[in-house]
Amino acid sequence: MFFQAICNLIITIPKVHFSVLLNKLESSFHLQPNDYESKLLLYHSFFLSLPPESIHYLGFIDFVHKILPIFIKNTSLPLFVSFLSDIANIKPFRSLYSIQTPDALILYHDICESLMKILPSIIELNEDEMVSYLEDCIQSINSILSSDTIPFGALYVYNDRTHHVLMQTIISICISHKWDFVSFYPKYTKLIFTLFCNIGMVSCDDFFGNHLHETLLFLFNALQSGEESAIPVFEQIVLFTFKSHLLKSVRIITTPSTDHSLLLSQHLDLVKNIIEILLQNLLNGNMDLYCTSKALLPSLLLYPKIYHHLKSSLLLKYSNSPDLNLAFCQLDASISSSCDGDAYDNFFNACQ
């Protein structure tokens, strides 16, 4: 609190360069050169004192780029994770980042590298501690993935694999525990599905790495237990696959690329089971209908044989319900060959 009070005061000094402010802070507390714990507390307090769009923000982030490797090695895990989680929240300072400068990309690279270094230690902790730290780490990733500030396309230009390595690692960690364990921690569960949705928006191909089967199994177990948050994640995966398949079929992609439809088709049993849960939900309405319809449309377009097989099974199972056949006829009539806004609206209306 004392650090914070001094930082709040010093930050108000007008027309002072960031480095001068930092020197004033360090000299005020007579910190020893190797007292990294106190230094990190001080720098964290300084950051929390910065108002949105502060002129000192970018100078501080440039300073962070230089000090993070030192603090990873010389500070406690709670202090470092807390600091990392806060600097990852770049939304209040979004207007300061220019598309012409690499500042946001450098910060993201630093955060990815830092997380990769601390995650091995975190997963060795006892369950409650591990989940607590993972929540902070995942929140850090969610903050920056959803900031609409990072030029992710530049990662490919610079051949920077840091993002993809972290995504593969964090996906692996999230799905490494059984669903019963994950669902025991509601906040952790929510953060995981938010993370998966963000990954789906930014780099959905990361789901098609070495853990596709485990990811689908994780989603299936979640859906089977009634977890609605798993629906948008499955939608992201099948929609990405459908669009990738469509682009290949019209020869827009001319360079070699991953065949996502082939990879997903290697796990058809799980895909079929998930689609069955979604179709069943149209009948019982246990989960959000709009989310269900959004996940179903690309699924039915991608796997029409699975849909017709499941539809026949449901019609046979509920043969005493004359309205069901009519409902499926209306559903079939609403299915177009695309997944644009009108197609989603028509399909959703037919699902009701």
Query: What is the Rg, in whole angstroms, of the alpha carbon atoms belonging to the chain?
Result: 24
Q: What is the pLDDT of residue 264?
A: 92
Q: In terms of Cα–Cα distance, which of 110, 111, 101, 96 is closest to 143?
A: 111
CB-based contacts of 344-348 (< 8 A; 24+ apart in sequence):
344/293, 344/294, 344/297, 347/293, 347/296, 347/297, 348/289, 348/290, 348/293, 348/294
Question: 57-74 and 77-87 are packed helices; what angle lies between their axes, rounded to 10 degrees?
Answer: 160
Distance CA 306, CA 297 (A): 13
CA 3 vs. chain centroid, Å, equals: 33
Q: Is the pLDDT of residue 260 over 90?
A: no
Q: Is the pLDDT of residue 17 over 50?
A: yes
Tell me what percent of the residues of the chain surpass a pLDDT of 90: 50
In contact, 40 and 71? CB cutoff 8 Å? yes
In contact, 146 and 198? CB cutoff 8 Å? yes
pTM: 0.89
Helix (H) or strand (E) segment spanning residue 246? helix 230-249
Q: What is the pLDDT of residue 252?
A: 42
Residue 262: count of CB within 10 angstroms of its CB: 11
In contact, 258 and 293? CB cutoff 8 Å? no
What residues contact 327, with CB distance under 8 A and at least 6 apart?
none
Q: What is the pLDDT of residue 54?
A: 79
What pLDDT band is residue 42 in, cutting at 50, 70 and 90? confident
Tens-digit pLDDT profile for residues 109-160: 999 999 999 999 999 999 999 999 999 999 999 999 998 888 887 877 777 8
Q: How long, in residues, is the chain?
A: 352
- Report the mean per-residue pLDDT for the chain: 86
Query: For the ranges 21-25, 109-113, 206-210, 283-287, which has the lowest average pLDDT?
Result: 21-25
Q: In terms of Cα–Cα distance, which of 106, 161, 114 is closest to 133?
A: 114
Q: Is the pLDDT of residue 245 over 80?
A: no
Tokens 């459908």 correspond to what residue?
242
Helix/strand/coil for 299: helix
Q: What one-character-per-residue DSSP string does 2-33 give?
A: HHHHHHHHHTT-TT--HHHHHHHHHHHHT--T
Q: Is 101 exposed, middle or buried (0-12, 13-18, 19+ CB in 10 A)?
A: exposed
What pLDDT band is residue 269 in, cutting at 50, 70 and 90? very high
Pull the structure tokens for residue 114: 């830092």
